[in-house]
Amino acid sequence: QLRPVESGGGLVQPGGSLRLSCATPGFPLRMYTVGWFRQAPGKEREGVSCISSSARGQGYADAVKGRFTISRDNAKDTVSLQMTSLKLDDTAVYFCAVSVESMPNICTILDEGRYQYWGRGTQVTISS
């Protein structure tokens, strides 16, 4: 079964950077739309960023625009989320989600229901 696997979480000081990666072992991630979501303690899960299968469609939550960058590495068949200028409010479990719907040039982080497969999450903690 398709199961996204996240990596790259950890503990970093405010202002620091982290790079998260998502892969789908045994399945071609380059064919799918990928979304990153996060859930902070006591809060609902929220969309962070997404990238379509062609990479032409990308989206970011207002809270991370200008600080996070999503990208594909088709040679490695991974999707990465480069996070910079990290803030305390970025502390959360980050989830990679995959949509197998045919939408090569668009993506959304406003509708979790568009994503059929979810990873188990990776913890990102921002603390001084």
> 48 exposed, middle or buried (CB, 10 Å; 0-12, 13-18, 19+)?
buried
Q: Residue 103's pLDDT is what?
A: 82
Q: What is the pLDDT, as a whole number, of residue 102?
A: 80
Beta bridge partners, 30, equal: none
Strands annotated E in 17-101: 18-23, 33-39, 46-51, 58-60, 68-73, 78-83, 92-99
1-41 pLDDT, tens digit each: 999 999 999 999 999 999 999 999 999 999 999 999 999 99
pLDDT tens digits for range 36-48 = 999 999 999 999 9
Mean pLDDT on 108-116? 95
**Per DSSP, what are the bridge partners of residue 21?**
7, 80
Condensed to tens digits (0 to 9), the pLDDT of residues 40-72 reads 999 999 999 999 999 999 999 999 999 999 999
